[in-house]
Structure 1
Amino acid sequence: MTGTGPETLAAAFERQRERLVAVAYRMLGSRADAEDAVQEAWLRLNRQDADRIDNLAGWLTTVVGRICIDLLRARTAHPEVSYEQRLSEFVVTEDDDEQPPDEAVLAESVGLALLVVLDTLGPAERLAFVLHDMFAMPFDDIGRILDRSADAAKMLASRARRKVQGTPRPADDRQRQREVVDAFLAASRSGDFEGLLRVLDPDVRWTVHTARGAVVRHGAVEVAERARLGATTALDARRALVNGEPGIVVHSRDGRVVGVMACTVAGGRIVEILSVSDPVQLAAVELPGRRGPGRHDG
């Protein structure tokens, strides 16, 4: 980048920020950690002679990749809680059928089921899979980040791909996702047991984080029976975007948010629900009009 002044460099970096955050989020599974990694990349860029960087986007991706691999290796040495327990990462926005959600929210949307599986990969496997399969980075470049050959990086990605294979992926058609979630809500409100079974995968899994701990329900019959009970309550459940995908927010009669549900839709059915009703954990969830501690500016 010849003739790069501070303002020009900052502007060039800002054009890359959301893409870099998306890369780091998929590797780290945490928006806050991803933003910290990108901020560290900016600090390192400021210590470089930018005029000697031919490809800024590639340089930044490499730096962010190296920062992320260091963080992943540190996690392996000092394990943290699983992604399913990091509920403050929920980002809830209004779902307007006519308006696409914020690009930053969509960029960080991977699908909770996939993030849980990614957490089981080794650091090198996860980096190789994310950078190649999700961001089309050549194996030569991935190998340089990992200090391995391109062939070794290719083998890591292949091994990760086998582990990830079969993970429920969100449907590409967002309107179809909306229709499935709306059908689930309608059947829940009316107590339509058969209607619930039609939109629930036979092996659906519903994990509810309550004030007393996590409760897991498995199978369409058990989940439908629990959802049908919602028809007898005075709660108001509405569709919203949860991490960029159609989900559900539950309000009490006085308008308080008492529950958030993230739904994974695949094959026209709900295959997984992750929800939180614990008031303490709900306070950490970012809701429309309120910035939670899971994200910050920097």
Structure 2
Amino acid sequence: MSPPNASWTPSHPAFFLLVGIPGLEQAQGWIAIPLCLMYITATVGNGTVLYIIKTEPSLHEPMYLFLAMLAGTDLVLSTSTVPKMLAVFWLGSRAIDFHACLAQMFVIHAFSSVESGVLMAMALDRYIAICSPLRHSVILSLSVIVKLGGFILLRGVILISPFSILASRLPFCSHHFIAHSYCEHMAVVKLVCGNVRTNTVYGLFVAFVVVGFDVFIIAASYAMILQAVLKLPSHEARLKAFGTCASHICVILSFYIPGLFTFLTHRFGHNIPHHVHIMVAILYLLVPPALNPIVYGVKTKTIWDRALAMFPMRGRKRQHLGHN
């Protein structure tokens, strides 16, 4: 069913129709239930992390400020896609305005770039904290953190903006069904009737510039961290240092592995069932936002204690059990 007043311009349709999960249309209503629960977890969890870091002066330190950036990015990523996705799955509201689709595409890719940059910055923070602890507060001063955060955001905006600009100038076919649950760049470009070589090449360029650079910095940071930790004389000190980095490594893997799978599948994974690709692409935008506040909340005692303090009855019960 087409929405009212649907009209076409010479170059692009007035709207697209999101298919959802091709091949699993009948099961989408049930699939949406765990996705909705993950979105609620992501929203409540990241909102709680932001509130705790904002209201607790002792957490106004580099590691927690980067964590706040990560939580804010996760909120934007999940909120830009999940509400519309749930409307598609539960209400059959598949239509999305052409310009709204391009805006969603921009937000998804720009803030994915920002999240990658924040993870890179957090790896640098761990490296400095472990390898140069006495200079940590000097190297990562508040002004440096603000500039680094601004650079990461600006990088995402500048590099991703051409995606939407190029797509807006392409001629689209009469077929306007996007075989996806949200407006992903390659899924939109596949509807173009014309040469999309520029879009494809630029997409590869951005992926290698952003992800390639960030992964290199992360890998180099952790290689030097590992070298420094193995030189520590105390076994307990080595375990503590590894424990400090474990949560960050878990978050890194949950972000890059499905992201890399999605990127490669779009271009080379022609034998992979399409619904598998779409499900991984959905989880790519939902798992990290839902997982990050849980991982950092459990691993960071100050955040965990403040979160418990927000629920006094549970906090008192926990303390009572501890005394017993």
Question: TM-score with structure 1 length normalisation?
Answer: 0.31
Question: If you compute each CA radius of gyration, which structure gives the higher value, 1 or 2?
Answer: 2
Question: TM-score with structure 2 length normalisation?
Answer: 0.29
Which one has a larger percent strand, Structure 1 or Structure 2? Answer: 1
